[in-house]
Structure 1
Amino acid sequence: MRSPIPLTKIILLANVLVVVVAVVVLLVLPPASAPPGATRPGTTGSGSPSPPPSAPPSPAPDLPSAELPPPITASEEFARQVKANEAGVVPILMYHRITRKRLASIDRTPAQVRKELEKLARGGYVPVTAREFATGRMDIPAGKHPVVLTFDDGHPSHFALDADGTPAKDTAVGIIYQVAVKYPGFRPVATFWVNRYPFGLREREDQERAVRWLASRGFEVANHTWSHPHLPRLPKKKVTEQVAKVERLLKRLGVPPSETLALPFGAMPRKRSTVQKGKWDGVSYQFKGVFLAGAEPSVSPFVENYDWRAIQRIQSNGRKGECRKWCSEYWLGWLDKHPRERYTADGDPDRISIPRGLRGNIRADRRQKINAY
């Protein structure tokens, strides 16, 4: 199937170049500190290390759960009623630092992130992780639309705990939970792609508590390479090393192997296969989704032209300058105006519900699940 989104290769390359320049500017600026009053995930309010947990903590009773409602069986008539289209496009939003004062074009303020997530909640979007998207397990309620919230670089503004052990309010996790409380259908999950110091934490015990806290509550913590290099400049062995070192770290921290990878700067290495699977120093990796820093919604993982090796994302931003047509404010508005083009779920994980005219767009290995109306 041809993508419903018109975008020339020249414009796409230009947009990726803008993202690269913005991230380079970001990397040379001083990192933002955690929100006032917040503590490291592995410490108590006084700053003293808390005892290591014997097992991953269970979800706190005062935080919304990431569990989804029971699946249903979708008939053709039901799929028609909810206007299901699981061949539609999915917005995968890309965030970097969250700061009270923006120092780079790709920074977002807490108020901006909160406003965008609330808009998504009101629009019927339900978050899924990058792993759930790439593996086709977007089992959200019927009539709803998946959205993937992704946060690059494992910055301190993404996750920190207050003295009472709850997520700091102006961090990514804190904001996600606030929106989930206000809009109960907004599932509190996201993907955090981290480097060698997840969330700015240097001590191994602190890193472990942070990633285990997130993983036990449905968040995905996955691979963004060890030191965030520009991969096209590296030889194959160095690319493999960059990826494998993060996999080794995450294994030591007690989370499952990564199934997704976000490319630093959205830049593909000269040999693409090195970021799909590989082995270095006894550590193996094999991904099911490699994500760019692109400029448009992704096609559905069920359609013929889906390429798991180069999945598009949308930068979270307004509509000024280069973002006039390529960032989240533009694309979310575009999807509101073109509801037939976006992915709308049928609530049934065993079927792929689509309008009858889209039958030919579904991948051959998924056609036995088609529920056309």
Structure 2
Amino acid sequence: MRAPGALPRLIGVTNVVVITVAVVGLSLLPGEPPPQAGPKGVAKVQGSTAQPGSPGPSGAAEPATSPVGQPPGVVATPDFARQVRANEAGLVPVLMYHRILAERHASLDRTPDQLRKELEKLAERGYVPITAREFATGDIRVPAGKYPVVLTFDDGHPSHFGLDANGAPLPGTAVAVIQEVASRHPGFRPTATFWINREPFGLRDRAAQEAAVRWLVDHGYEVANHTWAHPNLRTLKRKKVSEQIVRIERLIKKLGAPPSQTMALPYGSMPRNKGAARSGSWDGTRYDFAGVFLAGAEPSLSPYAKKFDRGAIQRIQSNGKKGECRKWCSQYWLEWLDKHPGERYVSDGDPERISIPEKLRGNIVTKRGLQVIAY
């Protein structure tokens, strides 16, 4: 999203989104929602199947192989889940970034150094990036005992990505910083989600657009839908909402990326008909997203939670603890999760099972025959 005059105020305990948008420039911060009390229960979503091998010393079987770019999995057991303190009903930080500039011009901007420092802290604390698509679909492949984090970038700004003459990410761009941090922290998977508009990464030449999108997709990044012209969807009729979504979806297809499974709302502004953001059609083309993401204010519920709303997924603005960000941006929330480890999503390393503390057992609903492990 581009920075609006007022980002949505998110009322966590009821998942009610009250959004007021008055575009007055890039200098304002989002409103302050009340904090999310914690997970409310879980419902499992099918993940891909890991191939188990022989049991490891901790009581979990380790696979002989794993998909390229994905961590080796395990077959979780109650004892193993207890050892790693797995809690796959916990909260997940979905971080929201905008421009990455050497000199900040607005409160939403971050410098490459600020981005680098935040990613370094995430890596050191045990967070592993996944895409918004993986999160929304519940395909969370994070090593046992680690925590998923979703890095998201709105607007497809030139500061997010570009290629130099040698076909490598331009220094100082978001992707270059992510790759740099991952090179120093092997467990920190280099991936993120980029939600684009009609001129991805500021490129107007179709060949340059295709080259950029091809590099990102080939290297495990997600490129997805942020509407064609970045309008306030709340001001549009349903047909126009669908047109904005379909037009960028057609561009994404032409550029060689898979169909979007996620989209971010411009300005965090929900259409009057909420369902139009998640599914619909225009001019013979349909769309149906696994997740629609808000502008940000607090960690998201686990995608396995009963009350997880795929049509209004929470995010956290990346920023320090100043002004309105004293409580509602990334520094505050990452410190809060460190102080409340029982509220955080902790992976059991097994995409075929959901591992949770016994006290959450009554909130679990299994789907598609997948196993729940309560310890």
Q: Would you say same fold, with TM above 0.5?
A: yes
CA distance in 1, matches of 2:253, 2:13: 40
Asked if structure 2 preserves the Cα contact closer than 8 Å seen for 1:110 and 1:175, the reply is: yes
Q: Deviations over 1:61-91 (max 9, x none)?
A: xxxx971222111110000000000000000
SS in 2 for 1:344: coil
2:355 corresponds in structure 1 to 353
Aligned to 1:53: none
SS of the residue 2:324 aligns to: helix
Check conservation: 2:86, 2:347, Cα contact below 8 A.
Answer: yes
- In the TM superposition, residue 165 of structure 1 has moved relative to its aligned partner by 1.9
Aligned to 2:72: 70
Q: SS state of the match for residue 245, structure 1?
A: helix
**Secondary structure of the corresponding residue to residue 26 of structure 2:** helix
In structure 2, relative to structure 1, the CA distance for the partners of 1:150 and 1:179 (3 Å cut) is: same
Q: Which residue of 2 aligns with 1:90?
A: 92
Query: What is the alpha-carbon root mean square deviation over aligned residues?
Result: 2.2
Q: Provide the residue aligned with 1:192 in structure 2.
A: 194
Q: Contact between 1:224 and 1:261, CA under 8 Å: does it hold in 2?
A: yes
Inter-partner Cα distance in structure 2 for 1:202 and 1:11: 38
Number of the residue aligned with 1:370: 372
What is the match of residue 61 of structure 1? none
Once the 2 structures are TM-superposed, how far is the Cα of residue 361 of structure 1 from its aligned partner?
2.2
- Name the residue aligned to 2:286: 284
Q: Tell me how far apart the structure 2 counterparts of residues 107 and 200 of structure 1 sit (CA, whole Å).
A: 17
Counterparts of residues 143-162 of structure 1 (less than 5 Å): 143-162=145-164
What's the offset of the Cα at 1:26?
Answer: 3.0
Q: Distance in 2 between matches of 1:86 and 1:307?
A: 16
TM-score, length of structure 2 as denominator length: 0.83
1:336-369 Cα shifts (integer Å, max 9, x gaps): 0011100000010110000111112223437842
Whole-angstrom distance in 2 between the partners of 1:319 and 1:278: 39
Quote how far apart the aligned CAs of 1:174 are.
Answer: 0.2
Q: d(CA) in 2 for partners of 1:310 and 1:11?
A: 9
Distance in 2 between residues matched to 1:209 and 1:336, nearest whole Å: 40
How far, CA to CA, are the matches of 2:68 and 2:267 in structure 1? 30
Q: Indicate yes or no: 2:328 matched with 1:326.
A: yes
Q: 1:127 to 1:24 in 2, by over 3 A?
A: farther
> 1:25 corresponds to which letter in structure 2?
G
Given that residues 128 and 146 in structure 1 are in contact (C-alpha distance below 8 angstroms), is that contact kept between their aligned partners in structure 2? yes
One-letter amino acid matched to 2:103: K
Using the TM superposition, name which of 358-367 and 276-285 deviates more.
Answer: 358-367
User: Secondary structure of 1:26's match?
Assistant: coil
TM-score by length of 1: 0.84
What residue number does 1:220 align with?
Answer: 222
CA contact (8 A) 1:314 1:326 kept: yes
1:196–1:227 contact (8 Å) kept in structure 2 = yes
Pairing partner for 1:209 from 211, 216, 222 = 211
Per-residue CA deviation, residues 258-285 of structure 1 (Å, 9 max, x unaligned), is: 0001000111000011111111112211
Superposed CA deviations along residues 279-323 of structure 1, whole A, max 9, x for unmatched, are: 111221110000001210000001111110100000000111111
- Kept in 1, the 8 Å contact 2:298–2:328? The answer is yes
Equivalent residue number for residue 103 of structure 1 = 105
Q: Does 1:25 align with 2:25?
A: yes
Q: CA, structure 1 residues 125+143, in 2 after alignment: closer, same or farther (shift >3 Å)?
A: same
Amino acid at match of 1:319: K
1:12–1:295 contact (8 Å) kept in structure 2: no
Q: How far off is 1:161 after superposition? A: 1.7
Specify every segment of 5 or more residues in structure 1 that has no aligned partner in the other structure, as ranges. 29-64
Q: Structure 1 runs of 4+ off > 4 angstroms?
A: 5-13
| In structure 2, C-alpha distance between the alignment counterparts of 1:360 and 1:175, rounded to whole Å | 42
Aligned-partner residue type, residue 291 of structure 1:
F
Instruction: Tell me the amino acid that sits aligned with residue 94 of structure 1.
Output: M
Once the two structures are superposed, what CA deviation does each residue of 1:130-160 show, in whole Å capped at 9, x if it has no partner?
Answer: 0000011111100000000000000000001
* Distance (whole Å) between structure 1 residues aligned to residue 369 and residue 298 of structure 2: 26
Tell me, yes or no, if the aligned pair for 1:95 and 1:152 is still in contact at 8 Å.
yes
Aligned to 1:336: 338
Residue deviations 1:106-137 (CA, integer Å, cap 9, x gap): 00011100000000000000000000000111
Shift of 1:166: 1.4
Contact kept, 8 Å, 1:66 with 1:187, in 2: the verdict is no
Question: Given the superposition, is the C-alpha separation of residues 70 and 340 from structure 1 closer, same or farther in structure 2, using an over 3 Å criterion?
Answer: same
Counterpart of 2:127?
A: 125
Q: Which residue of 2 aligns with 1:268?
A: 270
Where 1:25 maps in the other structure, the secondary structure is coil
Aligned residue type for 2:85: K
Q: Structure 2 stretches of 5 or more lacking a match?
A: 1-9, 29-66
Aligned to 1:166: 168
The amino acid across from 1:26 in the alignment is L
- In structure 2, the CA distance between the partners of 1:121 and 1:179, relative to structure 1 (3 Å rule), is same
Instruction: Give the helix-richer structure, 1 or 2.
Output: 1
Q: Indicate the residue corresponding to 1:45 in structure 2.
A: none
Give 2:323's aligned amino acid: G
Identical counterparts, % of pairs: 63
Q: Output the CA distance in 1 between the equivalents of 2:261 and 2:354.
A: 23
Alpha-carbon distance change, 322 to 211 in structure 1, aligned in 2, over 3 angstroms = same
Aligned to 1:46: none
Residue type of the alignment partner of 2:291: G
